[in-house]
């Protein structure tokens, strides 16, 4: 066992003494030491219940003969961080999470890990750590928030964001605004739509790093506690069989994750996190590969924000396992990949049938024949950009209009709320990329303002930043190269005609190559907006959004 480094032999007398100072017995020290990494805090609603999950995990580890040792991870709530300086720290926190888990696991000689995340950057941060450390590991999340029926419609966080735009547009009053605020987030858990947290929790199942049900069992269900106990027991089996993350996260399991991503219509942030996880697992991918898969993958689900269903509905319909079984009917998955169950993916999904075809469409009657996410390229995004195609109104799949250019999210929000954006416009928000932000902020506030003011079928938004999984509309992010790196987006001027063709994966500005070259020769880049502390270091080493915004040593 790896933990022998800190507990075996005469020379480790002082080490054992310190373990005993924490209350461990000789019997507990003798057993495998299992790190239980909980991102529990009292800020993020998805993490309020993680103390219960951690206790259940530890019970499972003990039942299976291990010694659980809990330690914390940080986490940022994207919703609370949205629309101000805090969002610059969200994506960047993914690397801090991975680095801190690496530090704790190696410093203390842990044999295995149970990872307990629940929201946006925390799930991929923990998966990156697992792939990097490559010691037996399993993920069990805190579960999804419930959606509540208010006024005949099930609500979610997006309701609250869009309500602000509706109030400013004069379509609801202050009383209704408060009522929607109180209805939007009715329980603990990760926000209830197919937003980033739930996307990554579902894809953790597909990758094979989480037990079936991880992505969809609601946070408040007792089944979630039982799942956590089973995860604690299962990590001991992984340790006994020496099944490691890189045995599970392989090119084939990444392929499966991209397939399910397209079928579910996951958050565009998955196009940041899957490449980052694959990079750390030594199974790198390019997002051109995602488009190839999308062309052959039917979109079977329209969960919020693309439709009216929420995670609780996906759970009741059979969950991710049932969706994968549906995909397997046309041989769209690689079924021999290993999972943390100790069985293959094919063995896991056998018999997992869809219980409600209004939530998970039949494979022969999809919402569309192509996947929910598209990667767009062209002279405006030579390296690529990403859009959640399944959440775009049909009339906006192809759009051409004049650019309204802003050098920050705040400038764009002010313009939207003061009526400076009109039908047909293409809002451009730049210098918000990984380097330029720094930190690649999500743009839920401006997209929600556009939707709330009734412009989502008439106005597009493009950015070198990114979008929340709750975003709907023609919102195109991850434009690469970003403005700070000399990308074309940094050369745009008000009135330039932007051409968007989502079905044909094109994003272009109607300028000649000569005009683009002339502007580039005259261009002077802005400096990063934050030049101190962690974000200064992050800006220097982070790769582009189309490379997963991974940290690269140079």
Catalytic residues: 468
CA dist., res. 104 & res. 109, Å (int)? 8
Between the CA of residue 514 and those of 346, 382, 520, what are the distances in Å?
A: 54, 16, 10
Those residues whose C-beta lies under 8 Å from the C-beta of residue 212, and which sit 6 or more positions away, are 205, 319, 320, 321, 341, 348, 352
Residue 384: other Cβ atoms inside 10 A: 25
67-72, strands of its sheet edge to edge:
67-72, 33-38, 112-116, 137-139
Residue whose token pair is 């939007």: 184
Q: Which residues contact 413 (CB under 8 A, 6 or more apart)?
A: 83, 445, 446, 449
ω into residue 321 within 30 of 0, thus cis?
no
d(CA 388, CA 73): 30
CA distance linking residue 120 with residue 15, whole number of Å: 36
Q: Which of 528, 495, 532 is nearest to 511 (CA)?
A: 495
Pair of tokens at residue 99 = 């680095």
DSSP 457: T
Determine the Cα–Cα distance for residues 178 and 183; give it in Å rounded to an integer.
9
The alpha carbon dihedral of 416, 531, 435, 403 has a sign of positive
In this structure, what token pair is assigned to residue 94? 């993914």
């Amino acid at each position: 066992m790896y933990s022998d480094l800190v507990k075996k032999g005469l020379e480790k007398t002082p080490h054992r003494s310190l373990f005993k100072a924490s209350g461990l017995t000789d019997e507990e020290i003798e057993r495998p030491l299992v790190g239980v990494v909980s991102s529990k805090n009292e800020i993020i609603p998805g993490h309020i219940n993680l103390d219960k999950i951690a206790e259940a995990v530890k019970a499972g580890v003990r039942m299976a003969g291990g010694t659980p040792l809990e330690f914390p991870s940080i986490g940022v709530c994207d919703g609370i961080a949205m629309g101000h300086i805090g969002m610059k720290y969200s994506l960047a926190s993914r690397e801090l999470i991975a680095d801190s888990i690496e530090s704790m696991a190696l410093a203390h000689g842990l044999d295995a890990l149970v990872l307990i995340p629940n929201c946006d950057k925390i799930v991929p941060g923990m998966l990156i750590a697992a792939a990097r450390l490559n010691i037996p590991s399993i993920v069990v999340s805190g579960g999804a928030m419930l959606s509540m029926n208010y006024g005949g419609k099930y609500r979610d966080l997006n309701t609250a964001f869009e309500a602000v735009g509706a109030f400013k547009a004069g379509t609801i009053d202050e009383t209704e605004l408060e009522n929607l605020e109180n209805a939007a987030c009715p329980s603990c858990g990760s926000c209830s739509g197919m937003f980033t947290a739930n996307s990554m929790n579902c894809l953790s199942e597909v990758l094979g790093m989480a037990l079936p049900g991880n992505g969809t069992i609601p946070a408040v269900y007792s089944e979630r506690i039982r799942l956590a106990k089973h995860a604690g027991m299962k990590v001991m089996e992984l340790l006994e069989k020496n099944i490691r993350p890189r045995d599970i996260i392989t090119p084939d399991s990444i392929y499966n994750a991209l397939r399910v991503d397209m079928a579910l219509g996951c958050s565009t942030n998955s196009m940041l996190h899957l490449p980052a996880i694959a990079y750390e697992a030594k199974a790198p991918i390019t997002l051109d590969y995602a488009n190839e898969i999308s062309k052959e993958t039917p979109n079977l689900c329209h969960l919020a924000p693309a439709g009216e269903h929420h995670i609780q509905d996906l759970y009741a319909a059979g969950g991710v396992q049932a969706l994968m079984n549906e995909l397997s009917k046309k041989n769209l998955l690689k079924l021999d990949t290993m999972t943390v169950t100790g069985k293959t993916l094919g063995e896991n999904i056998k018999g997992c049938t869809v219980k409600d075809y209004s939530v998970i469409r039949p494979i022969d009657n999809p919402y569309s024949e192509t996947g929910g996410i598209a990667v767009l390229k062209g002279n405006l995004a030579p390296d690529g950009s990403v859009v959640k195609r399944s959440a775009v109104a049909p009339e906006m799949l192809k759009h051409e209009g004049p650019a309204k250019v802003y050098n920050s999210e705040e400038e764009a929000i002010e313009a939207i709320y003061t009526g400076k954006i009109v039908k047909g416009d293409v809002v451009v928000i730049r210098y918000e990329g990984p380097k330029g932000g720094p930190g690649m902020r999500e743009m839920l506030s401006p997209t929600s303002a556009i939707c709330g003011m009734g412009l989502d079928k008439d106005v597009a938004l493009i950015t070198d930043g990114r979008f929340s999984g709750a975003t709907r509309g023609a919102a195109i992010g991850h434009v690469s190269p970003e403005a700070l790196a000399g990308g074309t987006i940094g050369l745009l001027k008000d009135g330039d005609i932007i051409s968007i063709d989502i079905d044909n994966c094109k994003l272009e500005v109607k300028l000649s190559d000569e005009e683009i070259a002339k502007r580039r020769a005259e261009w002077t880049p802005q400096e990063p907006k934050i030049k101190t502390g962690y974000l200064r270091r992050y800006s220097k080493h982070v790769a582009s959004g189309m490379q997963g915004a991974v940290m690269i040593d140079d």
